[in-house]
Structure 1
Amino acid sequence: MSKFLGYIFGPIFNIVFFLFLCIFHPIQWICFRAFGYKAHKVSVDILNFFLTYCNWVLFNSVTFKNDQNLPTDNPIIFVANHQSMYDIPGIIWFLKQHHPKFISKIELTKNIPSISYNLRVGGGANINRKDSKQSISELIKLGRRMKENTWSTVIFAEGTRAKDGNIKPFNVGGIATLLKVVPDALIVPIAIENSWKIVRYGKFFLTVGNPIKWTVLNPVNKADKNAEEIVLAAENAIREKLHQAIRLPDLDTNSMKS
């Protein structure tokens, strides 16, 4: 039934979603050109409010749970699992006080209304995955902006979307680079649930009635941990929340022999 209703309401959702992107593209441009970053950010926040609640067209529920008393005067690296493009609007809207920035493929900075413009001027990092020097340089620049402006960054540490909702092992590189620039940044995991179900049959044949949920978890205790251990702790916190098997750290085979 969910798939059948998706044939009816999926196209309506796509039209409404795309319409908001088109409407806010010139609004963003005017806000940024005429009034600067703060006005532009407000326009992006409002856009993502509408994009988040577009879920209602599909009869999806939207729940964002954040019981953490996170500071707004300290940079934060939010580490999340990634299930679909619909993960992003809720994070931007509900964590707007933390100025969340994203690490995106450079290809996304062109030809997408609103999204491409925001990626170009919003302060995130746009990386070329085929150019490691450029990628590292962009991350370093992002880290500096985090320090200067007490912004946050959201990293989908799997590196790609989990199309079946099952978490892939988290990558360390991007987080390790940011921590070298912003060593005092908090590491805060976010567990995302059920957004993969929206697109389980593809981008156009969407499903309805999905309970979409974001949960902000306890910050990772970074004391006496290196970057690998910090990322693994964030990954396992998300796995535990989603009731998926916790990935154990690799064992030292030499110590096992002894």
Structure 2
Amino acid sequence: MGAVFYLILVFMALSFWDLAIKIRMIFGVSVARRYMDAQSVRISRILFRMAQMYAKLNLIVETPLVTEYPDQFVVIANHQSLADIPLLIQMFPHHRVRFVAKRSLSRYLPLVSPLLRYQRHALISRSGDLSSTYRSIRRLALSSAHGIVPVVFPEGTRSKTGVVGAFHEGAARILLQIHSLPVVTVAIDGGHVFSRITAVIRRIRGATYRCRVTSIRPAPGNKQEIVSLLTECRQEIIEQQKQWRAEK
């Protein structure tokens, strides 16, 4: 029953914050965007506290000291569930993170959809609209010069089993060729266990959901270095998952 109660609380909380955004939209997108920038870390923490309290989720966030991060950087992470978005927002509380996400998420999801639209995340279509995808990622790359931290999930979709899929270079290559930045690699594990609503009810209780910064790499200089970097990032994440699972 705890997981069901947690889902009800999450829906109520998301609906409340969604309404708060819509009210601020009356006064303009910039007002709503400032509200989301100010509240996103707090909202992420509240959602996970509820998961820990009512669904008994075991959340482990491992990060180096904030002072160790470069002034500007790109995050490369594997992807297991929608919870990865608030997880990474919470993981970098002193930075304004923006995601490369599929366009379908920009509709019908309370709080998540307006956040992706109004904060100007890079929303890409899987229907093959390459010019629109390029413009969206290019805008995100240019915004990184103004304090925005782009986050890329190179797998392109959530892993339903937790196994790290193939990394696709497209989004990361466009970002890093337009604005070459250091790369922070993040390994995530455990999210695939509750990636669906029915799985939350059945499997979130006592599950361990964790993430860790595995490396901070210098900015790549060309396409070949970007491809090589992504290969190394993927292997790092795989090795980190092996280590976590061996500990269990």
Which TM class, normalised by the smaller chain length? 0.7 to 0.9
1:1-40 aligned at under 5 Å gives the runs 8-31=1-24, 33=27, 35=31, 37-40=33-36
Number of aligned residue pairs: 234
Identity of aligned residues (%): 21
In the superposition, relative to structure 1, how do residues 123 and 237 fare at CA in structure 2: closer, same or farther (>3 Å)? same
Aligned to 1:4: none
Asked if 2 retains the 8 angstrom alpha-carbon contact of 1:10 and 1:58, the reply is yes
Q: What is the letter of the counterpart of residue 124 of structure 2?
A: I
1:241 Cα deviation from its structure 2 partner: 0.9
Q: Could you tell me which amino acid in structure 2 is paired with residue 38 of structure 1?
A: R
- 2:183 alignment counterpart: 187
Amino acid at match of 2:19: P
Q: How does 1:48-63 map to 2 (within 5 A)?
A: 48-56=44-52, 57-63=54-60
Q: Which moved more, 1:208-217 or 1:22-31?
A: 22-31
Instruction: Render the CA deviation track for 1:88-137: whole Å, top value 9, x for unaligned.
Output: 21211231212111112212211211111111111211112211111111
TM-score for the superposition, normalised by structure 2: 0.86
Which ranges of structure 1 fall in alignment gaps of 5 or more residues? 1-7, 245-258
Residue 71 of structure 2 is aligned to residue 64 of structure 1:
no
Note the C-alpha offset of 1:38: 3.4
Change (3 A) 1:175 1:204: same
Q: Which runs of 5+ in 2 are unaligned?
A: 244-248
Aligned to 1:240: 239
Q: 1:222 deviation in Å?
A: 4.6
How far apart in 2 are the matches of 1:199 and 1:116?
18
Question: What SS does structure 2 have at the residue aligned with 1:213?
Answer: strand
Which residue is equivalent to 2:246? none
Within the candidate set 170, 179, 183, 1:173 is matched to 170
When normalised by structure 1's length, the TM-score is 0.83
What is the CA-CA distance between 1:53 and the residue it aligns to? Answer: 2.1
Give the number of the structure whose alpha-carbon radius of gyration is greater.
1
Which whole-Å deviations, capped at 9, do the CAs of 1:134-153 have from their partners, x for residues lacking one?
Answer: 11110001111111x12111
Q: Distance in 2 between matches of 1:143 and 1:87?
A: 21
Query: Structure 1 pair 43/26, CA: closer, same or farther in 2 (3 Å)?
Result: farther
> How far apart in 2 are the matches of 1:78 and 1:242?
18
